[in-house]
Amino acid sequence: MGRSRGGLTTKIYALVDAEERPIHLLLTVGQAGDSPAGREMLARRAPGGILLAEAYDTDAIRAEAAERGAFANVPPRTIRKRSFAFSPWLYRQKNHIERFFNRIKQMCGLATRYDRRPDNFLAALKLAAARIWINAL
């Protein structure tokens, strides 16, 4: 999708539930910023709950999470002048997302990204997500 000095790059964004099952998947080019994709993923979330994210410490995402009735437990960047409520204990629950990506990495075709076209790669990711859902039932 995206082109860099090392070749083609792609970022995968995933929204998972508490049982590590994927709810929504999104692909962007590798050089794209995280905030626009984060706002789109936030729009796909159910209202309420807790948003656990890593690189989404922007005022717009915090305001949108509050508007949707969610608590944004995002670690504040070091350049922030104001401080926000942040719970390291809750942040440790972010490992559910990491476990989902580790499951994806177990599938060789997805880990090495044999598909050249982004729509084929996203379709393969969604098939893997369906397999994860079926195994969870």
Q: Rounded mean pLDDT of 3-31? A: 81
Rounded CA gap, 44 and 106, in Å?
Answer: 26
DSSP 8-state code for residue 132: H
pLDDT digits (tens, 9 = 90+) for 28-75: 887 777 778 888 888 888 888 888 877 677 888 888 888 888 888 888
With a pLDDT cut of 90, the percent of the chain lying above it is: 14
**Are the beta carbons of 68 and 41 closer than 8 angstroms?**
no
Give residue 127's pLDDT.
93
CA torsion through residues 45, 47, 49, 51, sign: positive
Q: From residue 8, how far is each of 31, 114, 117 by CA, in Å?
A: 10, 11, 11
Q: What is the mean pLDDT of residues 72-86?
A: 82
Q: Which domain holds residue 16?
A: 2-136
- Mean pLDDT, rounded, for 119-135: 91
- Tally of domains within the chain: 1
Reply yes or no on whether the pLDDT at 3 is more than 90.
Answer: no
CATH of the domain at 95: 3.30.420
pLDDT for the residue numbered 2:
53
